[in-house]
Chain A
Amino acid sequence: MSNARKLSMKNRYSALTRDLDWTPTYVDPKAVFPFTSFEGIKIHDWSKWEDPFRLTVDSYYKYQAEKDKRLYAVLDGFAQSQGHLSLTDARYLNAMKLFIQGVTPLEYAAHRHFAFLSRYYDGPGPRFAAQCQSVDELRHTQTEVHTLSNYNKYYGGMHNWPEQFDRVWYLSVPKSYFEDAMSAGPFEFLIAISFSFEYLLTNLLFVPFMSGASFNGDLPTMTFGFSAQSDESRHMTLGLEAIKFLLEQDEANVPIVQAWIDKWFWRGYRLVALIAQMLDYMLPRKVMSWKESFELYFEEQMLGGLFPDLEFYGITKPRHVEQAIGEKDLLSHQVYWALYQFSFAAGFTTTVPEDDHLDWLSANYPDTFDKYFRPLWDKAKKVQDEGGRVFFRGLPQLCQVCQIPMLFTEPGDPMRLAQRQVVHNGERYDFCSDGCQWIFEREPEKYVQAWLPVHQIYQGNCGGPSVPEVLAWYGLQDGDAGEYAGSVDQQNWERWHDHAGKADVEAPVEAEVRA
């Protein structure tokens, strides 16, 4: 504006990002970039890679520093004002326990893998984009830990997440998803993480957490979430640019990319099953139902908006998408019902939804809730009123691919559990769905190696044969798992609030909580 000599964004990007590249002359480029050919993807001109954000190192750090300053001001204010007492209910934190256990380690994994990619792509455009994303993901890991450590002082379930990520049964769902991507090639990783996870499904994954936080009095999570999401919009762009770049470079890339979209859509969709139950069951104050979120963010924006754009390249809607659509009235209920029964072995608690919550579910799922699910809760409530609790005795069978317990039902028949089997080299493998079976059959040698938590328990690799031994191996402490009603968190919450629901003058002391 005022300084006419200042370079335009375009020229700065060209000078400070693209021009720092050189072509190796005394080493074979194939030896410098050894991983970008084995997947069969053909790239003719790396300079055609677009970065609409036109990021340069100086502007990147300038804005990231500003984002952190804003966030840490909020975190300080929250801690100083006993902000945790302003939550809608201590129950809400189950969503955040799931978040730090299951999502934060993914941020760290993404940090590691994007650091790798920022070295190994041939072109400077994607290398620099990957470098920025690597630093972003480390920032997300750190800010999430700092944010949620404010709750860890007072509430259970958040004290052992890095180890739990490697051990606990439901956390193998996100872990195996990401490790599947990290052990793939550099282009498949982009479709898996940048396109499927960050563009196709991001709004289903992250926006519900942030709006849920906003609606339930969780100021710091909302703030770190929006801070992270502002990076996420850049990551979405990387995903979309990646797919367009691959499709435009060579027609032979189209079927390869299509198969990856098919695979990673279904992998990602199964992963967000954990979010579906969170939205419908874990938030005391509801933002929107899973079904509404799925229709808006996925059906309308992605199937209605993105895929017509990709049709231009010959890309069709993901395989098995109709089955995902067919499950939207069932998914969250089936998953939470399973978590309710297995929460004795989880890093969070579950409980029977209260009456007005059940009414909300009936209203939002008029075709399915009263027919299939409300009777289950009525029964569980009756058992609980009589002093019991419905917990599943035994261990669930897991799907070989998504690693979720086999809780999903046949397409079109919500009363019959779906079960698919494949015999490979004389061994039988089980799957929750046609989608997971199809993924296995493409790459059986990969998925036969899956570390399935239930199999590992039976093989004696998880602390011992009894439930208490396994829970000790998970690092679970008293109050982390089980039923919410009567739990340590609930008792503390009651003690800290008077009958009007206002925070009591008797402030919680960190030490007494963990005693």
Chain B
Amino acid sequence: MKTSDDKWAKRESRTKVFYTFVGILFISITIYILVALQSLILPVIIGMLSAYLCVPLLARFRRNGIPQWLGILILFGGFILVVFILARQVTQLIPNEREQLELRTSIMNKANERYMLYYGLSEPGGTGNFLHELIGSETDPMMDSFNTAIMLSESERELFESIYVLEDLSQPELGRIWRQYQMNLNQFFYAEPEVRVIDRMLADADLEEEEEDYVDEANRSLIAVIINIISIWLVMPVVFLFLLVDDGKLSKNLIGLVPNNYFEMALTTLANVDRAIGNYLRGTLIESLLMSVTIWFLLVLIGFDTGPAIILGLISGLANAIPFFGSVIGLVICAAYALIMDDVNSVLPFITVENLILATAVVIFISQAIDNAVYKPFVLGKAVDLHPIIVFIGAIGGSIMFGFLGLLFAIPVIVIVKEIYGTLHQQLRDYFIIY
């Protein structure tokens, strides 16, 4: 009997060593892969989240008698269509070299026009109104930095002038941009009203050379960058399709690795986490779409054109998924567009080009109020119950690591990790594994 117990004990200790070794190896390899394939993380996450959102739709298809393969085909087709339309819209939104120069010229001109208008300045260096006296000394250097950053460099000015020499400047649109360009050349600093922005830039020749080198380098590698981005993002539909076809086999195989003691606990944890994350993601998506529609409608109401309002609404609605930062992102994007608008066709008679930025801020404020009072309580419930500090650090960390998309996906990832930990802890207690 004693020999049998010894054998059993030895076997048990060997099993523990085996699982520990395999566990450490698995974690090490996972960390290595995550670091090595960092650029693939976001496409994989987006593909996974999209598949996650589509799984209930697939179940509904099957319930209505649509075969699994046809359901997958419909969803995959829809996914590719959405990705294609979005990619097309995004590429259309990216201006070409000429459009970029015109846009920067226009933004610089409009920004200075509005700046002087709001501060009651007739020229840089003037006294202005009460508001300028109050905070002008703080904002003038900021505006000067903005002007220095957005002003066309020497090579860009040469290119701009070479294009416009051949153009018919009697056309209203071209004539307007040319006039704006000329006005920008005569733009003075606000903090140093005797110095023109362009003079300072010419004097700082070294800096300009560096800038040119950077622009040249960026232009040279543009095609390589695009090919690289496309090849990386091809992973997304593959992950999406794989997870839809998988039909739970992956989780079944993972459960197969779990020791018998933890079998039921692992099943319950997986199901609870699956339900909670599914609810959160679907709730967030619905909330974002509702916010997109709300912002679009309100922007059109204050005089934005329908096309740009749809895009601004979509971006702001999507960004709204980020607590705290989302509304700021929406406000900045919409206000930036309001800044370069030339005319306003609002149904509300008191909204003009001059007070459009204020109206945009009111739109974002109203949409946030509707979101907090109506959408969040009804659609999302208490799915996101994160401490503000965690949200803040998570969002900043995500943006440092992966840029805007990192900012967007940091909170869902934190919610997922929190849900896994919370459920696992509860289940370990329910199954008397821990106290």
B and A form one assembly: no
